[in-house]
Structure 1
Amino acid sequence: MNRKYAIFATLVLTILGGSLFFIWQTKQKTESRKSLSSYPSVIITPESETGDQIGATKKASEETLNSTSGQVAVDTTVQPKWRQHSGPQTVEALMASFHGEYGNSWMDQKYPPVEWLRLILNRGGFIQHYGDYSGLLNARSLLFHSEKHPEMWKNGHYVGIPATDDWETYKLAFIDRYIWTTEKMREADENFPNNTGVDFSGPGGKNVIVHAPGRVYVQRRTNAYGEIHETTFGDDAALTDKQKFNITYKRAHPEGYEIVYLDEDYNTLKEAPPAITREDVLRGWQKYWQTMPLPADGPIEVPASQKVHPLLEETLRQRGWEGYFVQEGEGLTEWDEWMHPDAEGDRGIPGPEMPSVIPDAPEPVAPTSQSQGDKPSPPSAADFQAELERFEKLFTEEGFTAEFEKQFAPELPTEASFEKAFRAQFAPEDFSNERLHGALETLNRYGVQEGIRRLTKTDPDAAKHFKTLLNSREPSD
């Protein structure tokens, strides 16, 4: 892809659907999967192709030489994905290395690159490769948007940057934050060359979550009822329910995976915490049963795969419930058998001597007025490619500045208008704010096509949603 795609990749989050770049800023929260920092949407050229591609090319060359000339030693070490800078950390040397590739930008008038780079270096920034360079220069666009919306930075909406009434104070804090996140992303690339993304989670976005093949995170939480429970995320798509069950309730780790345990604030735990026990979960359940709305007094049918805990019925009776449960045959799930070791058909899971455990406590589910059938189907690959070509023609370098200023005129979308437009297409429970921020980071860091490809692996539903948005020709009000 040529440089126009790089321009398009940077723009598409702002232009489509009423300016998604602005949405990213206005919708940020102080919990997981969010950050101000991301690498730019840089198109990887042959001289900066991925390490996997380089390694594969060298491997093919090695096999060819071996077949014709016998065994030949060829270095197949994975190479850096970005072109490296070998000179001094000066404005002149850095621009000589990278600015010809980066080129001119609409941001140059507001924040000239020479002055911006000098500010970055004076604040302790370090630029090792083109990814660092383009990412730090692209940060100017976020600062440009921030200056136009002081209500956001004055209220402390930006992760990792304290609220302030002084613009210059905010600007320096923004730069410091961007330097820090760039450093953490560079470290992630060095330690996990095949990583698929980086999140900054927890209070202040201070904890770095690296997504990489075989790396699974297990986060331990305590809900409002005092029940301890765990959730997995990361590279867990291939894990079976049984494997996840064994991680949480038996601390049995599947082969080939690195299991990283986190607390509620995404701090990494040095050791795996004790497996959750039946008693841990039951304590929370009992509190919930004592406050939950009473069901109707008629019969409640219980699926064959589940079993009613005796304490549930006892608690409901004490509260005046006069209904009853009807068990629909036999055939408990492994979890229900584990929770009720005395149940008929027990598969032999040990009782008290084994750390007992059960799943999340039942929590009320917010109803949604939107049915599955109301959701738009994702576009085909051909439709998506056609849309990319349409935007390539629309966002030429010559028309970029005018189009950008038009989009960022005073008619910027409000938070309410975004909520209306976005939730009209996707039910709230299907796409949380945290997933939105994580997906936007991936698209901004890798560009549209590469970002969609990565999202298809790490979050297929998010990839479908963004393909649908990219296929929408008119922004929503």
Structure 2
Amino acid sequence: MNSTFQDINLLLMLPLFTILGIAIFFGSCTYSYTFSQENGSSDMRLREEVKFKWRTAPHGSQKYIGPQNAQEIMDALDSDYNSGLLKAEVSVFREVGEKKITTHSSNLTMGEIDARYPRAEWLQLLLDRGITIENFHNYSVHLLKRHTLAFLEDNPDLRHLEIFDIPPTDDWETYKAAYIDKLVKHHHESRKS
């Protein structure tokens, strides 16, 4: 008789353990916000991706209404960017049937990117060319472009694929200037539409 009651106690505890297990599982999950963009031809494509912790990244529609200068923008958005960034990656792939075959990939750290293209200088360069930062999403996308630039600098063979419709060149400074011109042009075109 005692064993019957012990089994019932165990059955009564089962829902409690189930609920605790679910709470632990979902409590430890990291929800994320990911932005990715692809450029290129049907043969060869470049993919840019940035991923943030969901709880840390401000909602994309929250408008930044402060002054359009690098330091003010960084003061407003940088701490969320730094604490929420999970991954920034640039890769080139080919599509073969249903499969995507990565041919080049870069996972430079934020420290490496900041050393090559300091945030304040990069943002001010874009702002001086007429780009505006309107929200966190906008901010993170424009900082991601530094990863793409470093990736293209490290892989000179990719500059001959015309992924961005930039004429092939071995001269890095010429290519870099053309890439920045493309960013600015795309920004102005997207604001018109």
Deviation at 1:83, TM superposition (A): 2.3
- Cα separation, partners in 2 of 1:187 and 1:35, compared to 1, 3 Å: farther
Give the superposition deviation at 1:94.
Answer: 0.7
State the number of aligned residues.
138
Task: Return the letter of the residue paired with 1:173.
Answer: A
Contact 2:166–2:175 (CA under 8 A) maintained in structure 1: yes
Matched residue, 1:72: none
Answer yes or no: is 1:152 the counterpart of 2:185.
no
- TM-superposition CA deviations, 1:270-314 (whole Å, max 9, x none): xxxxxxxxxxxxxxxxxxxxxxxxxxxxxxxxxxxxxxxxxxxxx
Deviation for aligned residue 1:111? 1.2
State the one-letter code of the partner of 1:163: P
Q: In structure 2, how many angstroms separate the alpha carbons of the residues matched to 1:84 and 1:180?
A: 22
Tell me the alpha carbon deviations over residues 152-175 of structure 1, each in whole angstroms, 9 at most, x when there is no partner: 21x242223222232112112212
**Structure 2 residue identity aligned to 1:146:** L
Question: Which residue number corresponds to residue 466 of structure 1?
Answer: none
Q: What code does the residue aligned with 2:71 have?
A: E
In the alignment, which of 158, 168, 171 is matched to residue 163 of structure 1? 168
Identity in percent = 27
Amino acid at match of 2:76: S
- Residue 83 of structure 1 corresponds to 62
- Return the alpha-carbon distance in structure 1 between the equivalents of residues 50 and 170 of structure 2: 29
Q: Which of 48, 51, 58 matches 1:41?
A: 51
1:92 pairs with 2:67:
no
Q: Distance in 1 between matches of 2:187 and 2:51?
A: 14
Residue number among 136, 142, 149 corresponding to 1:136 in the alignment: 142
- Tell me which amino acid in the other structure corresponds to 1:169: T
Distance (whole Å) between structure 2 residues aligned to residue 120 and residue 126 of structure 1:
8
User: What is the match of residue 88 of structure 2?
Assistant: none
- Provide Cα deviations, 1:1-47, integer angstroms capped at 9, x if missing partner: 759x56xx68xx9xxxxxxx9xx77xx32x69x677x6743455488
174, 191, 197: which one aligns with 2:179: 174
Q: Could you tell me the TM-score, scaled by structure 2's length?
A: 0.56
Rounded to whole Å, the distance in 1 between the matches of 2:154 and 2:134 is 31
Contact 1:91–1:117 (Cα < 8 Å) also in 2: yes
Kindly provide the CA deviation profile for residues 87-134 of structure 1, in whole angstroms up to 9, marking residues without a partner as x: 111111111111111118231122111111121112222111111111
How big is the shift at 1:181?
Answer: 3.5
Partner of 1:103: 82
Aligned partners of 1:134, 1:186: CA distance in 2, in Å?
17
Q: Deviations over 1:353-384 (max 9, x none)?
A: xxxxxxxxxxxxxxxxxxxxxxxxxxxxxxxx
AA of the residue aligned to 2:70: V
Aligned-residue RMSD, C-alpha: 3.8
Unmatched 5+ stretches in structure 1: 14-20, 50-80, 189-477
Question: Distance in 2 between the 1:47 and 1:166 partners?
Answer: 37
Q: Where does 1:248-263 land on structure 2 (aligned, <5 Å)?
A: none
Match of 2:51, SS state, is: coil
> Quick check: which one's strand share is greater?
2
How far apart, in 2, do the equivalents of 1:43 and 1:129 lie? 17
Partner of 1:120: 126
Note the C-alpha offset of 1:176.
Answer: 2.5
Summarize the Cα distance change of 1:35–1:130 in structure 2 as closer, same or farther, 3 Å threshold. same
Amino acid at match of 1:170: Y
After superposition, the C-alpha distances for 1:41-98 in whole angstroms (9 at most, x for unaligned) are 345548844xxxxxxxxxxxxxxxxxxxxxxxxxxxxxxx432111111111111111
SS in 2 for 1:102: helix
Q: What is the rounded CA distance, in whole Å, between the counterparts of 2:64 and 2:170 in structure 1?
A: 38
Instruction: Determine if contact 2:30/2:54 at 8 Å carries over to the other structure.
Output: no
Per the normalisation by structure 1, the TM-score is 0.25
Maintained 8 Å contact 1:136/1:179 = no
Shift of 1:135: 0.4
CA distance in 2, matches of 1:96, 1:110: 21
Q: Indicate conservation of the 8 Å contact 2:58/2:80, yes or no.
A: no
* Separation of aligned partners in 2, 1:48 and 1:124: 24
Structure 1 segments, 4+ long, off by >6 Å, are: none
Q: Which protein is bigger by CA-based radius of gyration? A: 1
1:175-219 Cα offsets, whole Å, 9 max, x none, are 23233445556677xxxxxxxxxxxxxxxxxxxxxxxxxxxxxxx
SS of structure 2 residue aligned to 1:109: helix
Equivalent-residue separation in structure 2 for 1:134 and 1:122 (angstroms):
18
Does structure 2 conserve the Cα–Cα contact (< 8 Å) formed by 1:87 and 1:94?
Answer: yes
- Contact between 1:161 and 1:170, CA under 8 Å: does it hold in 2? yes
- 1:36-435 equivalent positions in 2, closer than 5 A: 40-45=50-55, 48-49=58-59, 81-103=60-82, 105-106=110-111, 107-153=113-159, 155-182=160-187
Code of the residue aligned with 2:78 in structure 1: it is: H
Q: Which has the higher helix share?
A: 2
